[in-house]
Structure 1
Amino acid sequence: MYLLWLGHSDAHDSKLVGGKAANLSRLAGDHPVPPGFCLTTAAFEAAHEGSAAVPRLPRAIFDQIGRAYRTLALQTGVRDPSVAVRSSAVDEDGAEDSFAGQHETYLNVSGLAAVTAAVLRCWESAHTPRALAYRRQRGLSAERVRLAVLIQVQVASDVSAVVFSANPLTGRRDEVVINASWGLGESIVGGSVTPDTYTVRRADLAVAGRVIGAKQRMTIATAGGTREGDVPRLLPTQPAPSAAQAAEVARPAVSLGS
């Protein structure tokens, strides 16, 4: 089984699709998750037959990616839809081991050739010295690497946010915390921007606190990729989401944590 769609029951299995894709697949049943599919760990193993470190793309897997990508084109009404191509490690985001930042992610990828090239680069990232050293440090097998790859429709966002279902600073479970900024979310995740921070009460979704960050930089979608750029004049001091938008962003986090 080389390919599974998000929302399929088999795609809930982190051993097949890694932690990131499995969690998104579970969410897809009841929450608005952009459509996408995942190349399983079986595809990773097939790509490495005969070579431990240099993957290739077998024809059967290429054909499945092509059919799935064309399905996304039909769903979105765009001939070559922009997608995020993201590594999803089998041991990812476990209780003791998080592989965040160890493997590759490619945003705003468009066209089948670019998508398949990004898949190969994700697979290759499983064998970088940094990723292998990370595994060894945590007592995980560096030789038995298994990596899935998630291909998901890219959201063309003016504002992005990272949402915490509990307050990460105080541990309070009755609060949702939102970090938000202009452009794509990579600038928040990568730490290149100081985002706005909203604290929202779970009980009534009211904004209990707001700190406007110095949002000087943003991640911008370009043809076939992204770039870092300056936030347009006047916007750095303006709140990225309104209070009403912050409440709507918090709503799914409240339902997930209930």
Structure 2
Amino acid sequence: MFNAFMEANGLWDYVFEKLDTIDFSSDASLISVAAEIRERIISSPVPQEMAEDIIRFYSQIGDSRQPVAVRSSGTAEDLDDASFAGQQETFLFVIGNDDVVKYIKECWASLYNDRAIFYRREKHFDERNISIAVVVQCMVSAQKAGVMFTSNPITNDYDTVVLEAAWGLGEAIVSGIVTPDNLWINKHTGEVTTEYISEKETMVVRLNERGGTKEIPVPEDQREAPVLTDDERNQLVTLANRIEAFYKKPEDIEWAIVDGQVYLLQSRPITTMK
């Protein structure tokens, strides 16, 4: 769909010509050209038939007020020796037909963030072979969330699952707002070999009925309490083992929990394991 959008608006030649003008020894040049490319993409219209397809698929998730996450996924993302995680945008609690179309286009534009362009150049990726997909998934109003590594990327230990957990949405961890609880667990026995329970002062939650997110203080009685129960921890380790077995390689997974139910949000390869 991204490629069709670019072709419909005649954007490919413009993008490649602008990329060729970047002086990569100058941060100002990179930032300026990247911003110009993104602005041209965002200001270009989504063809009516394409917009209707997006709205039709959105309606299959729920009614027109169903909040969703609009998540970018580069088609070259997270190869065995390269990680593009965090370089494109994700938008949470997006509500309504117009905003879903709007934020899909903003995800497309984020393919040309300055840091993404620079990283691709450093890794010798051909810009003419780069594209982007966008995932629209039902939003989970997480009471607890975090990430888990099916093997330990710090010690290169393939027998250890690493869990990071915080209250509220996982955005608090990803954006560095909070230091999460950190657990190292033997994936074969379930034994917790290392446990650090942090003081978690801030959490991210839904802003209001119109969508968006906000930061709020964590209730006093939860700040120094473990986020995960034993049962939730065991569920996550079991899922980590299943996912690693399925992909046949260590994975970096985002998860959320609502009323004890674990939801898996995304999985990508760990690119730093030796």
Q: Shorter-chain TM-score: which interval?
A: 0.7 to 0.9
Alignment of 1:257 onto 2:218: no
Alignment of 1:217 onto 2:178: no
Alignment match of 2:114 (pick from 126, 129, 136): 129
Alignment of 1:66 onto 2:55: yes
Alignment match of 1:120 (pick from 89, 105, 116): 105
Offset of 1:43 from its aligned partner? Answer: 4.1
SS in 1 for 2:220: coil
Partner of 2:76: 91
| Residue segments in structure 1 that go unaligned for 5+ positions in a row | 3-40
**Closer, same or farther: CA 247–128 of 1 in aligned 2, 3 Å:** same
| Residue segments in structure 2 that go unaligned for 5+ positions in a row | 16-36, 246-274
Partner of 1:185: 170
Distance 1:72 1:139 in 2: 38
Q: Which has the larger displacement, 63-72 or 198-207?
A: 198-207
| Runs of 4+ residues deviating >4 angstroms | none
> Aligned AA for 1:207?
V
Q: How many residues are matched?
A: 215
Query: In percent, how many aligned pairs have the same letter?
Result: 33
Distance 2:110 2:116 in 1: 7
Partner of 1:147: 132
Is the 8 Å Cα contact of residues 220 and 228 (structure 1) preserved in structure 2? yes
Partner of 1:235: 222
Offset of 1:129 from its aligned partner? Answer: 2.7
Distance 1:121 1:93 in 2: 21
Root mean square deviation of aligned Cα? 2.0
> Aligned AA for 2:50?
I
SS in 2 for 1:234: helix
**Closer, same or farther: CA 129–173 of 1 in aligned 2, 3 Å:** closer
Partner of 2:10: 49
SS in 2 for 1:205: coil
Alignment of 1:164 onto 2:149: yes
**Closer, same or farther: CA 235–47 of 1 in aligned 2, 3 Å:** farther
> Aligned AA for 2:224?
T
Show CA shifts across 1:84-106 (max 9, x none). Answer: 11111121111222112211111
Q: Which has the larger displacement, 127-136 or 213-222?
A: 127-136
Distance 2:244 2:111 in 1: 32
Distance 1:68 1:107 in 2: 18
Partner of 2:182: 197
Is the 8 Å Cα contact of residues 45 and 146 (structure 1) preserved in structure 2? no
The structure with more radius of gyration: 2
Distance 1:167 1:127 in 2: 31
Q: Which has the larger displacement, 242-251 or 133-142?
A: 133-142
Is the 8 Å Cα contact of residues 44 and 148 (structure 1) preserved in structure 2? no
Distance 1:128 1:157 in 2: 28
